[in-house]
Structure 1
Amino acid sequence: MTDGNFGLTESVSMALGGMIGGGIYAVFGVVTGITQAATWFAFLLAGLLAICSAYSYNWLNELVVEDGDGDGGGSVTFVQSFTGNSTLAGMIGWTLLFGYVGSMAMYAFAFAEFTISLPGVPSTLGGIPVRPIVSVLVVGGFVGLNLLGARATGSAENVLTSAKVLVLVVFGLAGLVYALSVSSDPVTVGTSRLASFSPVMAAAVSFVAFQGWQLLFYDQESIADPLETIPKAIYLSIPVAVAIYVLVALVAYNLAPEAIQNSPHTALVDAASTIGSAVGLATAAGVVISLSALFSTASAINATMFSAGYFAKGMLTDDLLPDRAGDSSASGVPTRTLLILGLVTAVFTAYGSLSAITSFASLSFIVVFGSMSALAFTQRDSDRMTAIWPAVGTVGGGLSFVLMFYHLYSAERGTFYAVILITVAVLAVELLYFEREILKEEIPYAGRDSKTAGD
Structure 2
Amino acid sequence: MGFIQRDDDSCHRERGRDLGVPELIAIALGGMVGGGIFTILGVSVSMVGVFTPLVILIGGILAAFAAYSYIKLGVYYQDEGATYSFFKKTFPASPFAASLIGWWVIFGYISTMALYAYTFSSYAISGFAFGDNEWVRKGVAGGVILLFTVINLWSVKGMGKIEDLMVYTKLVILAIISFVLINNANTSLPVLFEAQPSVNVLSVFILASITFVAFEGFQLVINAVDEMDRPERNIPIAIYSAIGLAILIYVVMAFGAILAIPFEDIIHNKEYALAAGASHVLGHWGTDLVILGALLATSSAISGTVFGASRQMAVIAQDGYFPPLLARRVNRIPVFAIVSMSLLAFILVLAGSLQVILEFGSVTFLVVSSLMAFANYKIRHLTRSSKVVTALAFLCLLAGTVFIFYYEYVHQPQQLVFIVSIYALLTIGAWGYSTRYMYWRNKGKVE
**TM-score w.r.t. length of structure 1:** 0.85
Deviation of the 1:311 alpha carbon: 1.7
2:365 is matched with 365
2:148 is matched with 142
Residues 201-230 of structure 1 show CA distances to partners (whole Å, capped at 9, x for unaligned) of: 111121111121111111123323111121
Q: State the distance in 2 between where 1:362 and 1:400 align.
A: 9
1:95 is matched with 104
Q: State the distance in 2 between where 1:337 and 1:237 align.
A: 26
1:50 is matched with 63
Residues 382-416 of structure 1 show CA distances to partners (whole Å, capped at 9, x for unaligned) of: 79532232222211111111110111222222211
Q: State the distance in 2 between where 1:62 and 1:253 align.
A: 40
Q: State the distance in 1 between where 2:189 and 2:235 align.
A: 45
Paired residue for 2:242, among 234, 237, 259?
Answer: 237
Paired residue for 2:117, among 108, 112, 119?
Answer: 108
Answering whether residue 26 of structure 2 is matched by residue 17 of structure 1, we say: no
- What are the within-5 Å matches in structure 2 for residues 52-451 of structure 1? 52-64=65-77, 74-84=82-92, 85-124=94-133, 129-149=135-155, 152-179=158-185, 186-188=191-193, 195-256=200-261, 257-276=263-282, 282-323=283-324, 325-328=325-328, 330-381=330-381, 384-436=384-436
AA partner of residue 256 (structure 2): V
Change (3 A) 1:326 1:196: same
Residue correspondences, number: 427
For the 8 Å contact 1:135–1:350, the answer to whether it is kept is no
1:34 is matched with 47
AA partner of residue 269 (structure 2): S
For the 8 Å contact 2:380–2:386, the answer to whether it is kept is yes
Q: State the distance in 1 between where 2:173 and 2:290 align.
A: 8
Deviation of the 1:57 alpha carbon: 1.4
Deviation of the 1:153 alpha carbon: 4.6
Residue range with higher mean Cα deviation, 381-390 or 84-93: 381-390
AA partner of residue 411 (structure 1): H
Identity of aligned pairs, percent? 27
2:184 aligns to what SS in structure 1? helix
Change (3 A) 1:392 1:286: same
Deviation of the 1:356 alpha carbon: 0.2
AA partner of residue 417 (structure 2): Y
Change (3 A) 1:326 1:58: closer
Residues 85-140 of structure 1 show CA distances to partners (whole Å, capped at 9, x for unaligned) of: 3332222111110011100110111112112212455433xxx7422222233333
Change (3 A) 1:413 1:33: farther
Deviation of the 1:330 alpha carbon: 4.4
Change (3 A) 1:189 1:296: farther
Paired residue for 1:4, among 10, 13, 17?
Answer: 17
Residues 345-374 of structure 1 show CA distances to partners (whole Å, capped at 9, x for unaligned) of: 112112211010011111111111111011
Q: State the distance in 1 between where 2:202 and 2:233 align.
A: 37
1:212 aligns to what SS in structure 2? coil
For the 8 Å contact 2:373–2:394, the answer to whether it is kept is yes
Deviation of the 1:194 alpha carbon: 6.3
Residues 38-69 of structure 1 show CA distances to partners (whole Å, capped at 9, x for unaligned) of: 221121111111111111112223333xxxxx
Change (3 A) 1:63 1:299: closer
Residue range with higher mean Cα deviation, 81-90 or 210-219: 81-90
Residues 8-65 of structure 1 show CA distances to partners (whole Å, capped at 9, x for unaligned) of: 333323222221133222232233333332221121111111111111112223333x
For the 8 Å contact 1:374–1:393, the answer to whether it is kept is no
For the 8 Å contact 1:43–1:245, the answer to whether it is kept is yes
**Structure 1 spans left out of the alignment, 5+ residues:** 65-69, 277-281, 442-455
For the 8 Å contact 2:146–2:342, the answer to whether it is kept is yes
**TM-score w.r.t. length of structure 2:** 0.86
2:191 aligns to what SS in structure 1? coil
